[in-house]
Structure 1
Amino acid sequence: MRLTKALLLTLLLIIIFLLVQIGVFGLLELFDQPISLQNPHQKWISKILGFVISYFFLFKVFWKVEILNKLDSKLNNYKISILIYLIILSIGLELIYQPLFDVNKLIEFYKNGYLNPEKENYSINQIDLLYQIVTVILITPLLEELFFRKFLISKLLKKNKEITSILISSFCFAIIHIETPLNLIPSFIFGVLSGLIFIKTRKILYSIFFHILMNSYYLIFLINASNYNDWIYNLNFDYIYWSLIIFGSILTFVGMKKITTANNGSSQITGIDEKV
Structure 2
Amino acid sequence: MEEVVIQKKGISIIGAFILIILMTLVQFVLYILVGIIIEYTGLEQVAPYVGMLKELIINILIVYWIIKIFRCKEEFKLKVRNKPRVKEYLFAIVFLFAHLFIFSNTVGLLIDKIQVSEWVIEAFDEMLVNPFIAFVSICVFAPVFEEIIFRGIILEQLSKRYGMATSLIVSGFIFGLIHFNLHQGANAFFIGIIIGFIYLKTNSLLLCMFWHFANNFLVFMSAMYLSSNVSDAVPSFSIVQLIFGIILLIAAYRFFNNRAVEMEEEQELSLTDS
Shorter-chain TM-score bucket reads 0.7 to 0.9
RMSD value, Cα? 3.4
**TM-score (normalised: structure 2):** 0.74
Match of 1:118 in 2: none
Match of 2:218 in 1: 217
Instruction: Tell me whether 1:53 sits opposite 2:61 in the alignment.
Output: yes
Structure-to-structure mapping, 1:130-145, within 5 angstroms: 130-145=132-147
Structure-to-structure mapping, 1:86-165, within 5 angstroms: 86-99=92-105, 100-103=107-110, 106=113, 128-165=130-167
How many percent identity over aligned positions?
A: 19
- Output the CA distance in 2 between the equivalents of 1:127 and 1:237: 30
Give the superposition deviation at 1:235. Answer: 6.9
One-letter amino acid of the counterpart of residue 256, structure 2? I
Instruction: Tell me whether 1:10 sits opposite 2:16 in the alignment.
Output: yes
Match of 2:197 in 1: 196
Give the superposition deviation at 1:95. Answer: 2.8
**TM-score (normalised: structure 1):** 0.74
SS of 2:12's equivalent in the other structure is helix
SS of 2:221's equivalent in the other structure is helix
Give the superposition deviation at 1:86. Answer: 0.9
SS of 2:255's equivalent in the other structure is helix
Q: Do the aligned partners of 1:86 and 1:255 also contact (CA within 8 Å) in 2?
A: yes
Change (3 A) 1:161 1:155: same
Q: CA deviation digits over 1:30-54, x for unaligned, max 9?
A: 3427x99693222232233223322
- Output the CA distance in 2 between the equivalents of 1:130 and 1:196: 31
Q: Do the aligned partners of 2:143 and 2:213 also contact (CA within 8 Å) in 1?
A: yes
In structure 2, runs of 5+ residues without a counterpart are 1-7, 116-123, 266-274
> More deviation in 246-255 or 148-157?
246-255
> More deviation in 259-268 or 158-167?
259-268
Match of 2:236 in 1: 237
Give the superposition deviation at 1:106. Answer: 4.7
Q: CA deviation digits over 1:204-258, x for unaligned, max 9?
A: 222121111111111111112435xx347657626xx443343333323322322
- Output the CA distance in 2 between the equivalents of 1:134 and 1:252: 29
Q: How many residues align?
A: 243
In structure 1, runs of 5+ residues without a counterpart are 109-121, 269-276
- Output the CA distance in 1 between the equivalents of 2:233 and 2:175: 33
One-letter amino acid of the counterpart of residue 50, structure 2? Q
Change (3 A) 1:90 1:11: same
One-letter amino acid of the counterpart of residue 63, structure 2? Y
Change (3 A) 1:107 1:20: closer
Q: Do the aligned partners of 1:124 and 1:223 also contact (CA within 8 Å) in 2?
A: no
Q: CA deviation digits over 1:93-123, x for unaligned, max 9?
A: 1233335444365589xxxxxxxxxxxxx97
- Output the CA distance in 1 between the equivalents of 2:187 and 2:35: 32
Q: Do the aligned partners of 2:102 and 2:246 also contact (CA within 8 Å) in 1?
A: yes
- Output the CA distance in 2 between the equivalents of 1:37 and 1:98: 41
Q: CA deviation digits over 1:112-156, x for unaligned, max 9?
A: xxxxxxxxxx97788722122222222221222222222222222
Q: Do the aligned partners of 2:175 and 2:188 also contact (CA within 8 Å) in 1?
A: yes
